[in-house]
Amino acid sequence: MQAHHLGHVVFYVKDLERSLAFYRDVVGFKEIGTTFGGKAVALTSGRTHHEILLIEVGNAPAPLSGVRRGLYHIGIKIGDSLEELRTAKKELEQRGIPISGMSDHTVTQSLYLQDPDENEVELYVDAPGVDWKQNPEAVLARIKPLNI
């Protein structure tokens, strides 16, 4: 498998509006839209469907919410076809690296795993035939199970 580029970063944030104002108004990312009942927003520079996803978790302490503010996961693009994702899955299995999830995000298909320090890593391929620039709502489509 070969990483093509870092695709996106997902942050758990305390205050979605405050973080959105920073990444959109200060840094200059473009808002694609919201999801999770308005508790998450996707942003792009235009290079790819989203480089940042912000998910609001508020003030709940980690033991109650199950999450803490900060990095949720990074997404690394590894190709443009399901065949490349299948190959990566086989490589991970041969190395004994557990896959914690597989998802069809409409614009991408993804494998999830943890690095040695238990940081979540998403390995993904862009879905062929899906033009997120013409249909930005596709970036926030309902997540479906992936079976490969």
Beta strands in 36-119 (DSSP E): 40-44, 52-56, 70-79, 101-104, 108-114
Number of domains making up the chain: 1
Looking at residue 35, which CATH number applies to its domain?
A: 3.10.180.10
Q: Kindly report the CA angle at 66 between 145 and 18, in degrees rounded to 5?
A: 95
133 pLDDT more than 80: no
Give the structural domain span for 129. Answer: 5-145
Q: Measure the CA–CA gap between 111 and 136, rounded to whole angstroms.
A: 22
Amino acid 64: pLDDT: 54
Q: Measure the CA–CA gap between 33 and 58, rounded to whole angstroms.
A: 20
More confident residue, 116 or 22: 22
- Amino acid of residue 43: L
Q: Measure the CA–CA gap between 1 and 125, rounded to whole angstroms.
A: 12
Global confidence as pTM:
0.73
Amino acid 68: pLDDT: 77
